[in-house]
Structure 1
Amino acid sequence: MDRDTRNAAIAAAVILVGFGIVAFYMPTLMLAAGEASPIIGGILAVAFVLAFFGVFWLRGRSKRNGNGEE
């Protein structure tokens, strides 16, 4: 395993663990936000899912641009 592959694996693991912790507490967060407004609870859930895919999309985009490919 070369240095770039190892760094990518470490970054992916950190991102997955971070999102895993947030996902574990997501029901509590949604219930707390839902007490103020059910719409806010729904927005929180949608934002979490979009952020999960957005992080990997941004990472892939930055790696592609960093290598000179477009």
Structure 2
Amino acid sequence: MSPESRSQAIAAAVILVVAGLVIYFLPAIVLGIGKFSPVLGFIVGAALLLGFFAIFWLRARYQQRK
């Protein structure tokens, strides 16, 4: 395994683990914030879910430049 592919595999694994933890705790986060403001809870939940896709989109753009 080349150092570049190993680095890419580690980066993907870290991103997936962090995203998995965020998605696992997402209901508790949204419900906690939703006690103060339901709209804010929706916005935070949507931002966390869209952030997962934004990370991979940004990473793909970065890889295209290299």
What TM-score, normalized to structure 2? 0.90
| Equivalent runs, 1:1-70 vs 2, <5 Å | 1-66=1-66
Runs of at least 5 residues in structure 1 that lack an aligned partner in the other structure: none
Following TM superposition, by how much is the alpha carbon of 1:22 offset from its aligned partner in structure 2, in angstroms? 1.3
Residue aligned with 1:36, SS: coil
Which structure ranks higher in relative contact order (CA pairs < 8 Å, sequence separation ≥ 6)? 2
Distance in 2, Cα, partners of 1:57 & 1:4: 19
Task: State the aligned residue count.
Answer: 66
Identity %: 44
Runs of 4+ in 1 over 2 A off after TM superposition: none
2:17 aligned partner, one-letter code = V
The RMSD of aligned alpha carbons is 1.0
* 8 Å contact kept, 2:30–2:42: yes
Task: Report deviation, 1:8.
Answer: 0.8
